[in-house]
Amino acid sequence: MTKTYSVVKLPFFERYLSLWVIFCIIAGIIIGKIFPAGVSFLSRLEVSQVNIPVAILIWLMIYPMMVQIDFSSIVRAGKKPKGLAVTLAVNWLIKPFTMAIFAALFLKYVFAAFISPVLAKEYVAGAILLGAAPCTAMVFVWSYLAKGDPAYTLVQVAINDLVILVAFVPIVKFLLGVNQIIVPYGTLIYSTIFFVVIPLTAGYISRVYLLKLKGAEWFENVFLKMLKPVTIIGLLLTLIILFAFQGNIILGNPLHILLIAVPLIIQTYFIFFISYLWSRKWRLVHSIAAPAGMIGASNFFELSVAVAISLFGLKSGAALATVVGVLTEVPIMLSLVYFSNKTRHWFGP
């Protein structure tokens, strides 16, 4: 008997995320041109080289994700170790390094006639930040659409979040150094504490407190639903500010958006198929294989944008590269969800 699956649609905001990003690019550029004094004022609101308005918006992006993570689920990790092994190996031993290779190959060499060496370095830095941060939030959507096992996806994401705490800084530092991009180690650690450790801790504490105070039903059906649009709104407002500063670069180099997208797109499909085919080789069930591929293919772009701004500044090519990652994410991941559902039979009944 053949199973049938109902068609599932993304929520409204997520479904048109790439379109909203394009609108924000246009809006940001227009605002930068019409209100240069206001944009300049916002740029000066800094503490220790961290722009305060952007920091607030980034926290609005990251906290709603962190509060969803149930770290008690980690105790279930040992029950199906192969799926977890695929996720960890691909995300931390393969993905950051192939991203750096693809980005350097295309942005420094293949497209050398179109991108100056200085900008190419910054674009590569942004790509490295994307590659070193596997997805923690949107993967729940992709897993759901691909009929993934929600409990196991939760385990994979929770453990990835813990690995980010210890692996993100040394991997980024190493890959930036290989590409001759010097970043103080302390700045990287500070960025990770500010944009991962603190919101992760805040999410964990508030989750435990609210579950005890209000119960699981209220937490899931009221609180999390209330937070759902906050991440997207924070992201879109951040993009408007970014492009208000990036306007002159974009208008002067509109081709660069497309050029940056090339290695990012190649990397996304490459990583997905490594995870997906590895899972098939190990005879994992589809409900574990699909999310394993999705986690590696997609990125924690909120963290990447935050760290790029912190390390290189709002006007940097690195920040622009991370935003291009946001722009390409949804259509690519939807194509992978479609492919995954079409190839479900590869994994048996």
Residue 13 within a domain: no
Mapped onto helix, strand or coil, the DSSP state of residue 304 is helix
Residue 47 within a domain: no
Q: Which of 109, 100, 108 is nearest to 128 (CA)?
A: 100
Residue 80 within a domain: yes
Sequence-ordered alpha helix ranges (H) in 179-285: 185-192, 198-214, 216-218, 224-252, 255-281
Name the amino acid, one letter, at 5.
Y
Number of domains in the chain: 1
Q: Give the range of the structural domain holding residue 97, as residue numbers without chain letter.
A: 52-342
pTM above 0.75, yes or no: yes
Residue 338 within a domain: yes
- What gap in Å lies between CA 279 and CA 286, rounded to an integer? 8
Residue 136 within a domain: yes
Indicate the helix (H) or strand (E) that contains 313. Answer: none
- What gap in Å lies between CA 242 and CA 100, rounded to an integer? 23
Q: What is the CATH number of the domain that holds 271?
A: 1.20.1530.20
pLDDT in tens, the chain (349 residues): 444 434 445 566 666 766 787 788 788 888 888 888 887 787 777 665 566 787 788 788 778 877 877 777 666 656 678 888 998 999 999 999 999 999 999 999 999 999 999 999 999 999 999 999 887 667 777 887 788 887 788 778 778 878 888 888 899 989 988 887 777 677 677 777 777 788 888 888 998 899 988 888 898 888 888 887 787 777 778 778 877 876 666 676 778 889 999 999 999 999 999 999 999 999 999 989 998 898 889 888 777 887 888 788 777 889 889 888 877 887 888 889 889 989 998 986 6
Angle at 156 between CA 153 and CA 159, to 5 degrees: 145
Residue 281 within a domain: yes
Residue 22 within a domain: no
Residue 164 within a domain: yes
Burial of 225 (0-12, 13-18, 19+ CB in 10 A): exposed
Angle at 280 between CA 325 and CA 2, to 5 degrees: 100
